[in-house]
Amino acid sequence: MDKLNDTLSELKEQNQNLLEWKRKLSLILEYSGKISAATDLSEILKVITDETKDVLQADRCSVFLVDKKKDELFSWVAHGLGKRQIRFPKSTGLAGAAVVTGETINVKDAYNDERFNPEIDQKTGYFTKTILCIPMKNRQGETIGVFQVLNKLDGVFAEQDAEMLRLLATQAAGIIENAMLYEEMKKSFKSFINTLAEAVDARDPLTAGHSSRVCSYAVLIAQKMGYSEKEIERLQYAALLHDLGKIGVKEGVLTKPGRLDEKEYSHIQTHTSVTRKILEQTYFKKEFKDIPLMASSHHEKVDGTGYPQNLKGEKIPEVSRIMAIADVFDALTSKRHYRGPMPLQKVFSILKEETGRKFDPVCMEAFFKLDLWDVMKVMFEREEKPSSETVSAKLKGVTLQELLRKFQDGVKDDIIENVAQYYSRLIDEG
Amino acid sequence: MDKLNDTLSELKEQNQNLLEWKRKLSLILEYSGKISAATDLSEILKVITDETKDVLQADRCSVFLVDKKKDELFSWVAHGLGKRQIRFPKSTGLAGAAVVTGETINVKDAYNDERFNPEIDQKTGYFTKTILCIPMKNRQGETIGVFQVLNKLDGVFAEQDAEMLRLLATQAAGIIENAMLYEEMKKSFKSFINTLAEAVDARDPLTAGHSSRVCSYAVLIAQKMGYSEKEIERLQYAALLHDLGKIGVKEGVLTKPGRLDEKEYSHIQTHTSVTRKILEQTYFKKEFKDIPLMASSHHEKVDGTGYPQNLKGEKIPEVSRIMAIADVFDALTSKRHYRGPMPLQKVFSILKEETGRKFDPVCMEAFFKLDLWDVMKVMFEREEKPSSETVSAKLKGVTLQELLRKFQDGVKDDIIENVAQYYSRLIDEG
């Protein structure tokens, strides 16, 4: 009977342990679906830290990544509705000690450990008691980051917690490295496109920075029209690449100081079809399939008289209708071989006049809803920005539409004066 | 006493179940480290199918992915030391039925189910008895593939197996979609670079295809020198981009029909520093950091008399020393404005003569170890390939070194004749 009772309590204890295992592992499994579905690094880190808190039953968890170039640790923290990156020297505090030594650190009373850095507690009003830090290593054994778990809800961190956290860290290391790989590849591709666009623009000194500004104006309009982040990304590629076909235009035509004759004009028009040809030979994933058409249709007009395909109205991709406005706006507000930058008032009246013929009315409406200050920041990107506090305070919140009305009503107030003053720099240089 | 015994056996059973849970979940956790560390899709699928077999205790497992464009299912199977892609129409067999209906299919006797496709058994000599198929869905609920598990080792698949497999499939879906995203991004970037290089080459009709051929020759040499896959990838980027700076060269100079004067020659030389400038403004990940230097140093000479930096010997990246040979070899064997393609014998003697001055002896040694047939395939890429079986049989296995010796010894055999015959096409066109 005693023996039976012993067996019984032994089994019960075993059962208890196994139930705890099951709880932890089920949690991990549940999270692993969430992690693999996350698409960006800060989102992945958020899921991983939530997971760690739940599995280890702790109050807080942070994952810091090693920035090898700068010898720093960094992570993201929630900040308003977005997130903010935080950074500190690699060897700071207990997390830093775990990174430097590559060892697990399990401390029962943080304030009694001299490696502990109390500054963050002081800033945030938090009180750290127990702390578990585990370096996160990749396949090559390199430490790529550190897990820091604070305040076990019930007592102190046990060796079992450390073991579980090492498992989690190993799992996380691979996921994080893959996510970084993806982000790096995307960053490379984008930055290559960007410098390439600059190189193409630079064939004619007067169009330097054109593609990048068209891209910025187009993004502002698209945001006003409620585009999603993914749609904006696609628009950015299309906008940065819209003049790529100018690679094929003869520089004699490209940089001709004066109006182009008919033959030259039709030669320069070929840049749209060259853009399309180059991009059509490029492999794009499904969501990006329309980039060649989008990028190459920025000279189409809604009335069907544009080129290269005489597309009409909604046959022109909306992204191209947005780009058409951005493209003309940048061209008119920039110096050209045959003229200086045009005064804003005249630019606006040309845009208005051509709406419905060349430009899409809906996209144009979004354009005129833009903040004057946002537009001016793009316009002056290539040189010193209008940065005086008082000026920005005056121009912020004024829309292009309101500026247009002031022009039309002949108003001469502070805003008009400030705009004229900044704008005159472009004209003086022209 | 009876009650105690009941409790005991109940606890034992519960314990048994929990142990099985622990086994499965521990296995999954162990695999999840392996999966996240895998870098390409076929490797990931391999780990996932191994995992599924172990967790479900089944004899075989395959994961098929949906190719939406072609309405097919595809996967990879081991093939010799590599792997081969297999494909079939989307609705084939029980796996196809699971994809089409989106439902789990659990069959106890495959040959008694009319949806079962016995063809594969017939081909492989395998005997399928029990079969469990579960569609793999992504976050959006789209079916992106199907798990097919064959022959449960001990009996038939239970509902618990199906449940576990659904968990595995959910986990896998995210990982697979991320891997596909990464591969697509890489594919886009590479193909964009490729078409861009073509666009730059095409500014002069005579250099069409140059960058791509230089890349192919350089890869052949690097393979001979034992480069790893990663090193080859980096070399490909550098080689495809080496003439990117020609964007900035005036077409009057680029396409001048005749020898360049000194001023024109120094203008055309600027393309290397423009290549470097553009690539230095591009963000590259750590392993690719040297691409700007590599791509822009293809006109350096080992004796230090090259440009743009007069680098000497090992100061020139090895990749650039390889590219220098590939670049000159392609230039000499192609038509130029001021001459036709040069006979191979003369090309070889120029390369030999310049070894130690312009070219690196070690890289040149690797070049002369190349298979004549591999080189000719690249050379004729732009037109009809020498495809006659007898010719390829004769030329295969002959190295450039052996051909050179025949030239030197004045041998006039089948090989020399065949080479001359094919090569004469280039000269005729020149």
Identify the active-site residue in B246, B301, B358, B394.
B246
pLDDT band at A397 (very low <50, low <70, confident <90, very high): confident
Q: In what order do the strands lie in the sheet with B131-137?
A: B82-89, B72-79, B58-67, B143-152, B131-137, B105-107
pLDDT band at B78 (very low <50, low <70, confident <90, very high): low
Q: Specify whether B256 is catalytic.
A: no
Is residue B173 within 8 angstroms of chain A, CB to CB?
yes
Of the candidate ranges A201-205, A352-356, B228-232, the one whose mean pLDDT is the lowest: A201-205
Helical H segments across A119-158, by residue range:
119-124
Packing angle, helices B2-37 and B41-56, rounded to 10:
170
The pLDDT value recorded for residue A430 is: 42
How many other CB atoms are there within 10 angstroms of residue A373's CB atom?
Answer: 17
Report d(CA A329, CA A285) in Å as an integer: 31
At the fourth CATH level, which superfamily is domain A2-181?
Answer: GAF domain (3.30.450.40)
pLDDT tens string A58-85: 999 999 999 888 899 998 876 666 677 8
- Percent of the residues in chain A that have a pLDDT greater than 90, as a whole number: 50
Of the candidate ranges A233-242, A351-360, A405-414, the one whose mean pLDDT is the lowest: A405-414
Across all residues in chain A, what is the average pLDDT? 88
Report d(CA A371, CA A224) in Å as an integer: 10
Contact call for A19 and B18, based on CB within 8 A: yes
Look at residue A263 and give its three-state secondary structure.
Answer: helix
Q: Residue A96: pLDDT above 50?
A: yes
pLDDT tens string B22-75: 777 777 777 776 776 676 788 888 889 998 999 899 999 999 999 888 899 998
Of B42 and A128, the structure prediction assigns the larger pLDDT to A128
CA distance A172 to chain B (A): 8
Nearest to B8 among A8, A188, A192 (CB): A8
Q: Residue A196: pLDDT above 80?
A: yes
Report d(CA A217, CA A240) in Å as an integer: 11
Q: Residue A94: pLDDT above 70?
A: yes
Helices and strands in chain A, H and E counts: 17, 6
Contact call for A247 and B37, based on CB within 8 A: no
Across all residues in chain B, what is the average pLDDT? 87
**Minimum Cα–Cα distance from B140: chain A residue:** A37
Query: Where are chain B's structural domains?
Result: 10-181, 202-429
The pLDDT value recorded for residue B430 is: 43
At the fourth CATH level, which superfamily is domain B10-181?
Answer: GAF domain (3.30.450.40)
Tell me how far CA of residue B221 lies from CA of B225, B314, B382, in angstroms. Answer: 6, 17, 20
Contact call for B248 and A21, based on CB within 8 A: no
Nearest to B167 among A19, A29, A186 (CB): A29
In the beta sheet, which residues pair with residue B135? B146
How many other CB atoms are there within 10 angstroms of residue B115's CB atom?
Answer: 17
Contact call for B185 and A189, based on CB within 8 A: yes
Task: Please report residues of A whose CB lies closer than 8 A to that of B285.
Answer: 181, 184-185, 188
Of the candidate ranges A121-130, A248-257, A258-267, B80-89, the one whose mean pLDDT is the lowest: B80-89
- Percent of the residues in chain B that have a pLDDT greater than 70, as a whole number: 93
pLDDT band at A168 (very low <50, low <70, confident <90, very high): confident
Task: Please report residues of B whose CB lies closer than 8 A to that of A285.
Answer: 181, 184-185, 188
Tell me how far CA of residue A221 lies from CA of A312, A369, B107, B219, in angstroms. Answer: 21, 8, 56, 45
Contact call for B284 and A25, based on CB within 8 A: no
Look at residue A111 and give its three-state secondary structure.
Answer: helix
Of A182 and B112, the structure prediction assigns the larger pLDDT to B112
Instruction: Name which of A245, A311, A253, A324 is nearest A277 in CA terms.
Output: A245
Q: Which two tokens stand for residue A104?
A: 């697990």
Instruction: Name which of A195, A223, A230 is nearest A209 in CA terms.
Output: A195
pLDDT band at B419 (very low <50, low <70, confident <90, very high): confident
Contact call for B4 and A7, based on CB within 8 A: no
Averaged over B183-190, what is the pLDDT?
A: 86
Q: Which two tokens stand for residue B204?
A: 């002069």
Q: Residue B168: pLDDT above 50?
A: yes
The pLDDT value recorded for residue A163 is: 84
Contact call for B22 and A22, based on CB within 8 A: yes
Q: Residue A110: pLDDT above 50?
A: yes
Averaged over B215-230, what is the pLDDT?
A: 96
CA distance B16 to chain A (A): 10
Of the candidate ranges B5-9, B79-83, B351-355, the one whose mean pLDDT is the lowest: B79-83
Q: Report the topology of domain A202-429.
A: Hypothetical protein af1432 (1.10.3210)
How many contacts does A have with B, using Cβ atoms within 8 A? 178
pLDDT band at B266 (very low <50, low <70, confident <90, very high): very high
Contact call for B185 and A285, based on CB within 8 A: yes
Q: Which two tokens stand for residue A256?
A: 């001709």
In the beta sheet, which residues pair with residue A78? A83
Is residue A184 within 8 angstroms of chain B, CB to CB?
yes
Of the candidate ranges A360-364, A413-417, B138-142, the one whose mean pLDDT is the lowest: B138-142
Of the candidate ranges A42-46, B61-65, B82-86, the one whose mean pLDDT is the lowest: B82-86
Report d(CA B170, CA B162) in Å as an integer: 12
Contact B200, B254 (CB under 8 A): no
Is residue A175 within 8 angstroms of chain B, CB to CB?
yes
Q: Residue B428: pLDDT above 70?
A: no
The pLDDT value recorded for residue A21 is: 74
Nearest to B195 among A194, A200, A282 (CB): A282
Maximal C-alpha separation, chain B: 109
Tell me how far CA of residue B139 lies from CA of A180, A231, A323, B286, in angstroms. Answer: 22, 19, 33, 33
Q: In what order do the strands lie in the sheet with A82-89?
A: A82-89, A72-79, A58-67, A143-152, A131-137, A105-107
Instruction: Name which of A295, A300, A296 is nearest A316 in CA terms.
Output: A300
Contact A416, A383 (CB under 8 A): no
